[in-house]
Chain A
Amino acid sequence: MSSDTPPSARRPGAAAPSEARYYDGSVYPGLKSEPIGEGLRTFARLSGWPVMLAAGNWLGDVGINLTLYNAILLVSLVLVLATQLLFHVHLRCCGVDVLPPMLDIATLFVLSWLSGGIASPLSSAYFLFAIVDTVGLRVRAAVAIAVGYSLSYALVDVAQVGGFRVSDFQAHSIVLHVLYLLWTVVSAGLLAGILRTATRRARAAAQENAILYERSVRTSDDLRSVLNSTENGIFMVDTDRRVRFVSRQMGDLVGTDLSDAVGRYMPVLIRDVLRERFKDPEGFERRLLDLYDHMDEEAVDELEVVGTPPRLLSRYSGPVRDETGRLLGRIEVYSDVTEARAAERLKDEFLSLAAHELKTPITSLKAYAQLLRRKPIEQASPKLLTNALVTIDRQATQLTLLVNDLLDVSRVETGHLYLRLEDVDLSRLVRDLVERMTPEGTGHAVVLEAPEEVWVRADPARVEQVVVNLLTNAIKYSPGGGEVKVSVRRQGDEAVVSVSDRGIGIPKDKLPHIFERFYQAHSTERYSYGGMGLGLYISREIAQRHGGRLWVESEEGRGSTFYFALKAGGREDG
């Protein structure tokens, strides 16, 4: 430190208790009034912030309001730190991995103190680099030091070239202030940007939430509609056994109004409303409450609902869980299985009936075969042999008819009942049949009325099948004998075969069902006229396949008349 001072730089009357020197070693006069002692000045040389304070003194010397300066400095300092903090938070939110802000700032201050006078421009540069990327601290620090040194020394050099005398302090101070100003502006901008982004993000989040909420409301509405559109009755109770959902069909299934059931306590609802709807109220109540005691259990059972007619409901009951597996409550799904069970029962009954009917001819066949073996044929009387042969033949035919009926039903069901159409004289066909079929010894007289040729386009085998069926029925259902009248005539553009008997007739309530599959008006499980209940079902199918009709007029106790109509036309019409 030299003691010569350029007179131009000296202020008049100012003492020099401590010396600050210019770059060339001359004493800087502005610091003479500076209150900080030599030790403090040394300290100031070693740190960033004291440099600023010194610079502030210098500025004060040149007439700048120190209070204002310090205020601005403080504000900018707070701004910079706050921005740094927020920026780090922002980067972290964006998923960029940065050092924790406090650690970053602490590193910065340590660097500041360690690097002495150049620390302030360094820290500013460090901040600047911190906002543009997240390069590692050391890289940032190295770059910042280089930039800080270059800037301040470049400024000293530039000043000297320009003829100004500038000290290290002044150079650092100027660089520092420029950078600091720059950084304050950038910080303010960044802060504004972060705030704007945050606001925008908050607004977007709010919008997104609104959309999600609306979507979830819509989804739950949709789900409710879906559940209400099934045929099933659905009950859901929460873990407190309060009704959370009840589908519209539920009330219909049990025959009561359940529209205000949501929110009610299920055990009370069962006691007051539901239990009386079931055939076994105690059983229903006990079972359901038991299921609620075991929320985790799944169960399937069947219940009978009172009403006319009573309905059979199948019930699935099981726990309801959300995606995470948390138990929300229990659901019961009721479905009406009355028709399904009835159809199953009909099928079972039919199978046992068919087995029964098939076994009857087999019984005769087997018995005659065994009888003839026991009594060697050469020893058998001619009467026994004739009986055996006639019966075997007849029962084999009967067996064939039964099997054919079964095959026909299967053909009808699968849509494979085909016709071989040709021109047929219906009168002649029926006449041949009647001659062949007139029964002996049953007291029946079959009277035929077929005065003219009636031509139709039809499958003769199938037409024959229908007429045979009608004739067989007429004889079967007039057990007391009597006249069976058969007529063939043209009626409008139809050829009609009618078969009338004076038998037991068909009760009015059974008339609509007699053409149904498996239906036998006069048969119960115990009481039977034989047969499988297939004849009229197949006959009507045959009639309809021909484009014709089959219908009946009947009075219970007086007899029945069946009409079989086909479209007239064929050979005679050309």
Chain B
Amino acid sequence: MADRTVLVVDDDPDILSIVEQILSFEGYNVLTATNGLEALDLVEQVRPELILLDMRMPVMDGWQFVGRLRAYRDSPVPLLVMTAATDARRRAREVGADGYIAKPFDIEDLLEKVRQHVDAYA
């Protein structure tokens, strides 16, 4: 299953844990990070097929993370912004993400979007 790795970045441990469970049930390999810095460390070691990214986080926020990621990686990794902000679409555009998942989300919607992007990549 190494070709179906999803990296989830969120500072709320509960959300991290539930997204991890949902995706694991569907057979994805899930990596988690609570801020941008941890996520960058992981990306250095593993190349995920998709990143689900919360924007407002301590230590390193989503914007900084995307900036560093782009500088570091030549080939782009699909990125979905996962945010509770009212203007989720704008946030996604700001960092050049491939889409967004507005919190609170429906599990079906989350899975549909993840499936779409991982499959598109594969």
Residue ranges of A at the interface with B (Cβ–Cβ < 8 Å): 352, 355-356, 359-368, 370-371, 374-375, 384, 387, 391, 394-395, 479, 522, 525-530
**What are 21 pairs between A and B in contact, CB < 8 Å?**
A352-B86, A356-B56, A360-B12, A363-B12, A363-B104, A363-B105, A366-B104, A367-B15, A367-B18, A370-B106, A370-B107, A374-B107, A479-B59, A526-B56, A526-B62, A526-B64, A527-B56, A527-B58, A528-B11, A528-B57, A529-B58
With A355-B86, A363-B84, A527-B56 known as contacts, the answer to whether A371 contacts B21 (CB < 8 A) is: yes
Are A371 and B107 in contact (CB-based, < 8 A)?
yes
Contact partner of B14 among A391, A525, A529, CB < 8 A? A391
Which residue of chain A has the shortest Cβ distance to B102 in the bound complex?
Answer: A359
Contact partner of A394 among B14, B57, B106, B107, CB < 8 A? B14
Residues of A within 8 A of B17 (CB): 387, 391
Residues of B within 8 A of A528 (CB): 11, 56-58, 61
Are B18 and A368 in contact (CB-based, < 8 A)?
yes
User: Which residues from 7 to 43 on chain B have a C-beta closer than 8 Å to any C-beta of chain A?
Assistant: 11-12, 14-15, 17-19, 21-22, 25
State in angstroms the CA–CA spacing of A169 and B88 once bound together: 123
Residues of A within 8 A of B105 (CB): 363, 366-367
With an 8 A cutoff between CB atoms, is B80 at the interface? no
Residues of B within 8 A of A360 (CB): 12, 15, 84, 103
With an 8 A cutoff between CB atoms, is B6 at the interface? no
Are B14 and A359 in contact (CB-based, < 8 A)?
no
Are A527 and B57 in contact (CB-based, < 8 A)?
yes
Are B18 and A352 in contact (CB-based, < 8 A)?
no
User: Which residues from 52 to 80 on chain B have a C-beta closer than 8 Å to any C-beta of chain A?
Assistant: 55-59, 61-64
Residues of A within 8 A of B18 (CB): 364, 367-368, 371, 391
State in angstroms the CA–CA spacing of A527 and B14 once bound together: 19
State in angstroms the CA–CA spacing of A526 and B54 once bound together: 10
Instruction: Other than A391-B17, A479-B59, A530-B11, give 7 A-B pairs with Cβ distance below 8 A.
Output: A356-B85, A363-B84, A363-B103, A368-B18, A370-B106, A371-B21, A391-B14
CB distance from A138 to the nearest CB of B (A): 95
State in angstroms the CA–CA spacing of A530 and B56 once bound together: 9
With A359-B84, A526-B62 known as contacts, the answer to whether A375 contacts B104 (CB < 8 A) is: no
Residues of B within 8 A of A391 (CB): 14, 17-18
CB distance from A200 to the nearest CB of B (A): 81
Residues of B within 8 A of A363 (CB): 12, 15, 84, 103-105
Are A384 and B21 in contact (CB-based, < 8 A)?
yes
Residues of B within 8 A of A362 (CB): 103-104
CB distance from A391 to the nearest CB of B (A): 5
CB distance from B119 to the nearest CB of A (A): 21
Residues of A within 8 A of B56 (CB): 356, 525-528
State in angstroms the CA–CA spacing of A528 and B63 once bound together: 13
Residues of A within 8 A of B85 (CB): 352, 356
State in angstroms the CA–CA spacing of A364 and B14 once bound together: 7
CB distance from A381 to the nearest CB of B (A): 10
State in angstroms the CA–CA spacing of A528 and B11 once bound together: 9
State in angstroms the CA–CA spacing of A365 and B12 once bound together: 13
Contact partner of A375 among B19, B25, B103, CB < 8 A? B25
